[in-house]
Amino acid sequence: MPKWGLSMESGKVTDWLVAVGDELTEGADVCEIDTDKIAGELESTWTGVVRALVVGVNESVPVGGTIAIVAPAEVPQEDIDAVVAEARAQLESGAIEDVSGPKVLTVDVEGRQLSYAVLGDTESGNDPVLFVHGYGGDKNSWLFVQEPIAAGRATYALDLPGHGASSKDVGDGTIQTLAQAVLGFLDTVGLNRVHLVGHSMGGAVITLLAADPAATGKVASLTLISPVGFGPEINAGYLRGFAEAESRRDLKPHLLALFADPGLVNRQLIDDLLKYKRLDGVDQALRSLVQNLVEGDKSAVDLTGELASFGGPAVAVWGREDKIVPAANAAGLGNAATVHIVDGVGHMAHMEKPQAVVVAIREALGA
């Protein structure tokens, strides 16, 4: 049972999408899982044969509990049976230790408290990955992506200033200020060389950071998901509407633009965003960011030069149905990044088709 989000303690398989005997490949849908926060499809990061389903539909399973066994076909059935029996015994005793979850920490960077979630082996020797969310997002938005990437390396998901559990002061609200905060974070936490993954406004932040002479040698690669800064097209109405919305009724129509499938905008998502927006200082922070992101109805940020001056490996993922930062902007990346346009996905590829983002990050890691 994966841990999708910091508060998740258990989940239920609501539908198995594989059967015993099926050949499993990476990226295949394994099952549908429902938590008290979110429902989603578990995508395979394993290859082999589905040898056993350990839990039944709608059975509550703690995070870290074994739900199915995948193994090569040649593993003898009695070995599989023994593993299933052990997994069942563990589930029934309740003795499952949740060691999989990220640790949430806070660090002071030049007077701002920055909150972040660490997952994976900080002693692995591999360069860590830092995730930077977009406008109005937070570290939890990486819930489907952070866990698979954390296999064999440390990963950090940051709350930018003005977001999540970090200080709400965004200074002048420019991308430059946010990039400096991220750079300060790297220095304070002692991350000397990182792979950066940024979504939307976070993509602009990491690109600007990567081009900063002070960051020379620190950035191993960039993975950009629907990044801001590479073309004039941007949904200014969404950015302003999100900042100004005061009620569920005001907010919902804007959120529908985020995903290709509007059904993903559920009550929990709206409630969580409203709770965030109602924290002191958030609306002011968002308004300040919007002023710097758009001019009229066009993007006010151009980072094509910065991406070129970075010159390192860069991979981009764009949802073909992105209604916030349209995929047409991908042309602005030119040859500076490998671009993957994903069908049936809107602005939130890392939530709508996490496997595509995982593959893109691995491509950047391996480059």
Partner 1 sequence: MATRKLSYREAINEALRQEMERDPSVIVMGEDNAGGAGAPGEDDAWGGVLGVTKGLYERFPGRVLDTPITESAFIGAAIGAATRGMRPVAELMFIDFAGVCLDQIMNQAAKFRYMFGGKAVTPVVIRTMYGAGLRAAAQHSQGLYPVFTHLPGLKVVLPSSPYEAKGLLIQSIRDDDPVIFCEHKAMYDMTGDVPEESYTIPFGEANVVREGDDVTIVAMGRMVSLAEQAAVELESSGVSAEVIDPRTASPLDLDTILESVEKTGRLVVVDEASPRCNLATDISAQVVSEAFGDLRAPIKMVSPPHVPVPFAQPLEDLYIPSVQDIVNSAKTVTEWSQ
Residues binding partner 1 (CB under 8 A): 7, 104, 115, 138, 164-165, 168, 246-248, 267, 275-276, 278-280
- Give least dist CB 170 to partner 1, A: 15
Distance of CA 1 to the CA centre of its chain: 18
In terms of CB distance, is 216 or 247 closer to partner 1?
Answer: 247
Contact status, residue 226 vs residue 203, Cβ threshold 8 Å: yes
- Give least dist CB 159 to partner 1, A: 9
Contact status, residue 4 vs residue 35, Cβ threshold 8 Å: yes
- Give least dist CB 280 to partner 1, A: 4
Residue 99, CA distances (Å) to 88, 127, 333 in order: 18, 22, 39
In terms of CB distance, is 22 or 244 closer to partner 1?
Answer: 244
Compute the distance between CA of residue 78 and CA of residue 278 in angstroms, rounded to an integer: 56
- Give least dist CB 138 to partner 1, A: 8
Closest CA to 322 of 291, 300, 353: 353
In terms of CB distance, is 138 or 306 closer to partner 1?
Answer: 138
In terms of CB distance, is 106 or 124 closer to partner 1?
Answer: 106
Tokens found for residue 313: 């490996």
- Give least dist CB 112 to partner 1, A: 14
Report strand pairing: 23-24 vs 10-16.
unpaired
In terms of CB distance, is 115 or 141 closer to partner 1?
Answer: 115
Tokens found for residue 281: 């200082």
In terms of CB distance, is 121 or 272 closer to partner 1?
Answer: 272
In terms of CB distance, is 168 or 199 closer to partner 1?
Answer: 168
Compute the distance between CA of residue 262 and CA of residue 264 in angstroms, rounded to an integer: 5
- Give least dist CB 259 to partner 1, A: 19
- Give least dist CB 265 to partner 1, A: 13
Contacts of 228 (CB under 8 A, 6+ apart): 134, 200, 201, 203, 204, 234, 293, 299, 301, 325
Compute the distance between CA of residue 266 and CA of residue 33 in angstroms, rounded to an integer: 15
